[in-house]
Structures are given as structure tokens and as C-alpha cells.
Amino acid sequence: MQISNVQLINLPKVFDERGNLSFLEANKHIPFEIKRSYWIYDVPGGEQRGGHAYITTEEFIVALSGSFDVLIDDGRNKQRISLNRSYYGLYIPKGIWRSMENFSTNSLAFIVASTVYSEHDYQRDYSQFLMLNNASQES
Ligand code: TYD
């Protein structure tokens, strides 16, 4: 997998003077079936989350509140993407190393995932990730 497969996706935004509304539907606004959602909050200043890849899980990450950076890495190229609006998000396919940092005070990261939680789907060893991913990109 390559970071060119990572995609910023704009979500629908329904403007309303009572307050705006955005939404997402599986297989329509994001390219997978949703099996799980989770959120990251109360992140102390300077902390980093993530720091792993998934073997099969696809995710879509939205900054529902505040801002943070997502660092993506396919083993060859790296990119930093800042998320700071609730009406777009970042689609990350399987096989991409990611971490999240620079969380603003009271930021809220909302993530939908294509799988239920399983520790077996994590690649937490960066050198192993590099070996597997570079091998698969060469073949
Ligand atoms: P982890 O995915 O490692 O956090 P990060 O967002 O920093 O990558 O998850 C931290 C712990 O939380 C993990 O060891 C188990 C638990 N967890 C669940 O039980 N279910 C989940 O859906 C997630 C994402 C994590």
C-alpha cells in the first residue's frame, strides 16, 4: 500500500442558521462497511497516539473538534496531514503506518473502522512493517 492511496474526503455539509450538520454513510461517503467507531479525547499536550499500521483495517479519521496532525508512512514516503474541520476526514487504507500528534486543547478525534477491534490486526513493530511493506511494493 502507498500513501497515494490515502485520501482526504469532504463530507456533506448541511448549512443551517440553527447550526450546521455533517454525516457519513458506509460505502457511500467512505469506501468501506463500518464495523466499529472510537474516539480519542483528553490528550495531554505533546502526546502522540497511534504509531502502528493495520494488516486489514481501513479507517476514516475526523477532527470533530479542535485539530491534530496525522503522519502517514508507507515505508518509502511520509506525509503530514492536518485535520481541523468536522466536515472532512482522512481515509487510510490498510498497510499504512500512522501516528497522530499536535493535538489542540479539547480536540476530539473520531474514527470509524472497517473491522471490530483485534490486536492481531496491528503491526506495532516499525522495522517489521518496513520489511513487509517494502517487500510487497517490490513484488
Ligand atoms: P491503540 O489502537 O493502540 O491506540 P492508538 O489510538 O494510540 O493507536 O489502542 C489502545 C488500547 O485501547 C488498545 O491496547 C486496546 C484498546 N482498544 C480497544 O479495546 N478497542 C478499540 O477499538 C481500540 C481502537 C483500542
Domain ranges of the chain: 3-138
Instruction: Give me the CATH topology for the region 3-138.
Output: Jelly Rolls (2.60.120)
The pLDDT of residue 134 is 78
Atom index in ligand 1 nearest the CA of residue 124 equals 3
pLDDT band at 132 (very low <50, low <70, confident <90, very high): confident
Segment 1-39, tens digit of pLDDT: 999 999 999 999 999 999 999 999 999 999 999 999 999
Statement: residue 139 has pLDDT above 80: no
91-95: average pLDDT? 98
**Mean pLDDT throughout 38-50?**
97
Distance 115 CA to ligand 1 centre (A): 13
pTM: 0.96
pLDDT above 80 for 137 = no
Query: What is d(CA 59, CA 9) in angstroms, rounded to the nearest whole number?
Result: 12
Sign of CA pseudo-dihedral 35, 32, 111, 46? positive
Residue 133: the pLDDT is 83
Does the beta carbon of 117 lie inside 6 Å of ligand 1?
yes
Contact 83, 89 (CB under 8 A): yes
CA distance 137 to 16: 46
Cβ of residue 36 lying under 6 Å from some atom of ligand 1:
yes
